[in-house]
Structure 1
Amino acid sequence: MEHQWFRALLYLRLGFILSLLARIGYCKHTSSSFSELGNHRYVTEEYFQKYDTLIDHVFQDFISDEVSHSSNKNQTFVPKLSILQRQLIGEGSHRRLTSSIRIEINPEALSKLYFHLCKSIIIERLPSGVFADPFELQHLTERGVFSDASVFGDTDLELPTVRANRSVVEAHMALDPSTKNVWDLNFEIPLHIRYPPLGNDGYTRVEFGSPDLLLYCNIERDSSYQSLIFSSTNDGVGSSFDAIVWDVPSGIVKHTKFVSVVTFISAVIGAFAILMACVFYSDVSVYNGSKES
């Protein structure tokens, strides 16, 4: 019996060690595949190491300045990025932002360059009051919807809008290099709403802007590979959709006093009911004890 217990313990330790080695190997493989993006796995990661909050014009300058050092210098390789459709679907406080994006490459560039590896980087700058759950994005990555995805900024899911900062979703999608000159990307990002501040008409309007799109490619030239990043913020993105608006129900300012009074009265009545129940229970217990004696 003792010998069997020792063997079981030994197998358990060996299994733990093998699992640990496998995770280390996977992490090295994953991080090495993003090594061309610099010292960071995500583009947005470097921004939030420099800045505490998301400011749109600062983020755009960061993309233009920080990413441009490895951007495209070949004029023939100028992809055209266009947003075909954007839609917010679902009901209530949990919805999904669906997007359909097309990436087109000049056929002349394809005839001169050999694409070894390409992927798209989609950066959604979420408006105030909206957040994405990192665990849901991880689940989508495990299902193969994204090759990688993460949330940056304020990831505290319990904070109300007035106390939370904005957040950013960065998702990576692998592209098939055998495709001729057009890539069509269709994906959705699950979103949730925070508790909005009080308003005058019972609703708070949340508006979504266009995402930032980057195309990252390893291109073979002169028996070597050259990494190119094309950023949509430099040349603009063609789009054919109206602004997406999410009308979120919120409290009304003029109802504040009435709600406060009703809440206070309810709390007093509840406390009094609990007190009476405790007194009644103690009297019943004393009466039953004296009756039994």
Structure 2
Amino acid sequence: MGIQQFKLQVSLRLGIALYFFASISCCKHASTINEVGSCTSNLDDSNPSSSALHGVNEFITEAYFEKHASLIDSDFQRFLSKEIPLEFCEVLQDKLEPVPKLSISHRHLIGEGSHRRLSSSIRLEIQPGSKFTLPAHFCDAIVVEILPSGVFADPFELQHLLQRGVFTGAAVFGDTNLELPSVRSNRSIVEIHMDIGPNVLSGNNNGLEINIEVPLHARYAPLGEHEFSRVEFSPPDLFTRCSFEGKSHKQSCIFLSTNKSLELKAGAVVWDVPCGIKEHTGIVSVVTFFSAIVSALLIVFTAFHYSDTTGCNNLKQM
């Protein structure tokens, strides 16, 4: 009996220790998710393009959530049209005509199952013969993707893309809880920054296309009458942000480039996410219930059998 009590005490202490370490791991995992929600690549202060384009207020969407607690389409579109700092553009507009435009030429989903990538081909359009008179300029293409409630962006995969230098900046705003099902989750916004290079806007590379792939995961869809729940993606908002070398300091200019009325004609991107059927709820519940009972009985039987075997071995040794 003394040996069994000793084993029981050791098992309890090991269980408490494992629970303690598991709790610490969960806390670290949750903090990692929150930290990765807003990612930027490592910046080099010696690079003028990095210092000009990346600062405290790097992300456009961040300013919206500083004033609004949730994502509402009308409020967000009003914010994009009226509250984005475009005053610098008015000062430099005479030197920047014609302004480079970004447009979506093609969008589609890549992959199968619940893990896919939303691929967008962005076309940079510059009028032939246009030249910039400013001595230096550095530009980023900014893609603001509003995701529907049925999917979410994976912040860990975004971080890997940043580390590989695919993006210069990436952030996820809104509902970043990865475990919530579709019916309990809110929508989120992914903002992607990609460097388009200092030589792209020289007027010699008209028609350049940039491909951006956003890693997405499907949430658990609600029960319905059909086998699939349709998730539809709206066209993203596109911006061009350039930093120019002025006489006294660098000046930044943001251009809204999206023309959604033309992009919607090409057709929306649709993801059919598998979901449970209401008619099968009863059968699934019964099978799950009996499976749980059988599993519990097997665990109890195994525990008693192991206890009896251990007791017999102890008696033989005595």
Q: Structure 2 length as normaliser, TM-score?
A: 0.74
For 2:229, give the aligned amino acid.
Answer: T
- The alpha carbon displacement at 1:152 in A equals 1.3
Matched, 1:53 2:74: no
Counterpart-to-counterpart distance in 1, 2:118 and 2:124: 19
- The alpha carbon displacement at 1:191 in A equals 1.0
Which of 258, 264, 267 is residue 242 of structure 1 equivalent to?
267
Which of 152, 161, 164 is residue 185 of structure 2 equivalent to?
164
For 1:44, give the aligned amino acid.
Answer: T
Counterpart-to-counterpart distance in 2, 1:125 and 1:67: 17
- The alpha carbon displacement at 1:177 in A equals 2.9
- The alpha carbon displacement at 1:223 in A equals 7.8
Could you tell me whether the CA contact under 8 Å between 1:81 and 1:238 is conserved in 2? no
Aligned-residue Cα RMSD (Å) equals 2.7
Matched, 1:123 2:148: no
Could you tell me whether the CA contact under 8 Å between 2:244 and 2:252 is conserved in 1? yes
Cross-structure match for 2:9: none
In structure 2, the CA distance between the partners of 1:207 and 1:291, relative to structure 1 (3 Å rule), is: same
- The alpha carbon displacement at 1:176 in A equals 2.3
For 2:76, give the aligned amino acid.
Answer: F
Counterpart-to-counterpart distance in 1, 2:295 and 2:143: 51
Which of 112, 122, 126 is residue 101 of structure 1 equivalent to?
122
Instruction: Return 5+ residue gaps in structure 2 as ranges.
Output: 1-41
For 2:79, give the aligned amino acid.
Answer: F
Cross-structure match for 2:224: 199
- The alpha carbon displacement at 1:225 in A equals 5.1
Q: Percent identity among equivalent residues? A: 51
Cross-structure match for 1:144: 165
1:99-146 per-position Cα deviation (integer Å, ceiling 9, x unaligned): 111122345752555551211111111111211111211211121211
1:30-57 per-position Cα deviation (integer Å, ceiling 9, x unaligned): 9843467xx5121111112222222222
**Structure with greater strand share of residues:** 1
Counterpart-to-counterpart distance in 2, 1:227 and 1:124: 22
Counterpart-to-counterpart distance in 2, 1:138 and 1:44: 18
Counterpart-to-counterpart distance in 2, 1:102 and 1:111: 19
Q: Structure 1 length as normaliser, TM-score?
A: 0.79
Which of 89, 92, 101 is residue 80 of structure 1 equivalent to?
101
In structure 2, the CA distance between the partners of 1:114 and 1:287, relative to structure 1 (3 Å rule), is: same
Cross-structure match for 2:112: 91
Q: For this pair of structures, how many residues does the alignment match?
A: 265
Counterpart mapping for 1:5-16 below 5 A? none
Which of 256, 275, 285 is residue 300 of structure 2 equivalent to?
275
